[in-house]
Amino acid sequence: MTTPDVLMIGAGLGGLACARDLARAGLQVRVLDKSRGVSGRAATRRTEHAALDHGAPYFTARSERLARLADGWTREGWLRAWTHGFPTWQDGHVTPADDGHARYAPTRGMSALGRHMAADLNVTTETHVTTITRTASGWRALTPGGDVCEARTLLLNLPAPQLATLLESVPLGDAGGPLDAVQFEPVWALLVPLREDVRADWPALRTDHPAVTWVAREHTKRAPGAPPALVAHASPDWTRAHLNAPREEVAYALLQVVQGITGPLAVQDVSAHLWRYARPTRRFPHPHGWDAGLRLGWCGDWCTPDPHGPRVEAALLSGWSLAGAVQDTPAPNL
């Protein structure tokens, strides 16, 4: 079996962006992910009642490359400019906002981004890599079931703590120093398919509530006639205080808070999802990590000095940046 040039562990948007560039440059790339699908935190849960983006709710396109892609995807019909700003809820009052920047959302849910980027890539899901070792020709990845994948170059698109655990036996040198400083905060997400829409004209709200920071009318992203649904994000402080609480308990507690913001809801169903590594609070100070000698690199939305903070666009920019570094490094003579 031919050893691929590149193994990417993690099929989040940054990893897929990197893998796609490398594959288009002619390299043999294999992507592994432990989840059932691709896209990472750009996730969509589909229930019998509605489709809900319970992770990243939208993306911006401030960079030239992503703006061109967003324009093309919009013309293809599966992406739309959802809104140009989000009102703020504060003590029962809603203040409009429009900063001129489009917030894009796929009409089929945020996971459509990952599925689009994974098209034509060699992606294997439901494959949990637990051990990484060096070999004479590069790298070997092992799963608990004994499956093996080898490659000359190893790339990772994982939250920094998971990445550090996987590479704990690898001497990273200066490239890995800043990894230890990267920190994340957790977020509980509330998913609420509705029987009736909320009486509101906003697509989503940012709030200053101590328990909930975000409430979105999910169906406003979709085609007309989509079933109504809400997604809310708990604040990091509230999430930490309820980190180990049962999901059902969390869901109903958050539902009470949300109804204090929106008014009574005609609830069809309610559930909660914990994002343990939701938002980087201390980021890696470079767009990517790359050790040319080891042919080892990493990318993600936490790899950015961008003052706008982590987001989908940062993940894509990080992946593209890592792909450039790999291509700029001469291939080893084996």
- Give residue-wise pLDDT tens across range 133-149: 999 999 999 999 888 99
User: For residue 307, is pLDDT > 70?
Assistant: no
CA distance 299 to 287: 7
- Per-residue model confidence (pLDDT) at position 305: 77
**In this structure, are strands 93-95 and 88-90 parallel, antiparallel, or unpaired?**
antiparallel
| Pairing status of strand 289-291 against strand 45-46 | unpaired
- Give the residue from 35, 39, 36, 31 showing the smallest Cα distance to 14: 39
Mean pLDDT of 215-238: 97
pLDDT attached to residue 178: 85
- Mean pLDDT within 85-112: 93
**168, HSE (Cβ side, Cα atoms, 13 Å):** 6
The pTM assigned to this predicted structure is 0.95
Q: Which amino acid is at 50?
A: A
Mean pLDDT, the chain, whole residue set = 94
Output the pLDDT for position 310: 63
Is the pLDDT assigned to residue 158 strictly greater than 80?
Answer: yes
Q: Which domains does the chain have, with CATH numbers?
A: 1-34+127-180+284-334 (3.50.50.60), 43-110+183-282 (3.90.660.10)
Residue with tokens 């706008």: 308
292-304 confidence digits (pLDDT tens):
999 999 999 999 8
Say what percent of the chain tops pLDDT 90.
86
Model pLDDT, residue 324: 98
- Measured from the Cβ of residue 128, the count of other Cβ atoms closer than 10 Å reads 13
Contact 102, 136 (CB under 8 A): no
Q: Mean pLDDT, to the nearest integer, of 145-166? A: 94
Per-residue pLDDT for 313 more than 60? yes
